[in-house]
Structure 1
Amino acid sequence: MSATVTETAPVSAPTATAAKPLGMRVNGKQWHAPKKAFRPTKGLTSYEARVKTRADQAAMKAKEKEMKEEKEAERQKRVQAIKEKRAAKEEKERYEKIAEKMHKKRVERLKRKEKRNKLINS
C-alpha cells in the first residue's frame, strides 16, 4: 500500500475570553449580571472630534431654523391673503349696502374719495 498522509489542522487553544467559568459570586447574588470594569476615560473623544460634531450640529440647527422660517413665511403669506380677501369682501358688502340707499354714481364717487384718503393717510 502507498503511504497515506493524514493532515492534521493545528488545534488552537481556547481563548481566555471564550466562556470562562466565573464560579460563584462572593455576595451570593448569582442572578445579577456581571459588572464590567470601570473605565473613566472610555467615553472621552479628541478635541478635533468634538469640534467636528459641534460644527455638524450647528449646521444642522441652522438648516432646521431656515426651513422653519420658510414654512412660517409661507403660513404668514396664506394668512395675509385670507385677511386681504376678507377685508375686500367686507368693503364690497359695505358699498353694496350703501348702494341700496344711494345712487350708483354717488357710491362710485365715495369709493374714489375713500381710496384717495387711504393713500394720503398711509
Structure 2
Amino acid sequence: MSLTPTPASAPTAPKNLGMRKNGHQWIAPKKPFRPTAGLTSYEARKKQRDTLQAMKAKEKDMKEEKEEIRQTRITKIREKRAAKEEKERYEKMAEKMHKKRVERLKRKEKRNKLINS
C-alpha cells in the first residue's frame, strides 16, 4: 500500500520521434486513415439532431419576440408622429378660423374616420 503514483496513471508525454528525414519538423505527422473512426450510432445522431432542432426553435422564438418588440416600438413612433402632425394642422386651422368651428371639424373628421375604417 504505497502512496506513490504508478506509471500507468502518470500523464504520458508525446513520444519524441527525433529529426524528420525530409526536414519538415514544423509539420505535424499525419495519423493513419481510419474510415470508421467518425461513425456514430443512430441514437446518438438522433439525439444530436433533436437538440439542434430544439435550439433552432428556441432561436426562432427569440427572434420573433425581438422583432415583435421592434415593430411595436415602430408603430408607437408612427402613431405619435401622426398625432403630432394632426395637432399642428388643427393649430394652423385655428389661426385662420374660429375655435368652435375647428372643434366642429375635428368631430366631423373623427366620424368620417370611424365610418371609412
The 3 A distance-change label for structure 1 pair 57 and 20 is closer
Q: For 1:116 and 1:51, how far apart are their aligned partners in 2?
A: 61
Q: Which residue of structure 1 lines up, in the alignment, with residue 46 of structure 2?
A: 51
Q: CA RMSD in A?
A: 2.1
Residues 1-40 of structure 1 correspond to what in structure 2 (within 5 A)? 28-30=21-23, 31=25, 32-40=27-35
Give TM-score, length-normalised by structure 1: 0.77
Question: What count of residue pairs does the alignment treat as equivalent?
Answer: 105
Residues 17-57 of structure 1, C-alpha deviation per residue, up to 9 Å, x if partnerless? 987675776xx314243321110111111111111101100
Gaps of 5+ in 2: 1-6
Is 1:70 equivalent to 2:61 in the alignment? no
Gaps of 5+ in 1: 1-11
Q: Secondary structure at the match of 2:40?
A: coil
Segments ≥4 residues shifted beyond 6 Å:
17-21
The 3 A distance-change label for structure 1 pair 119 and 23 is closer
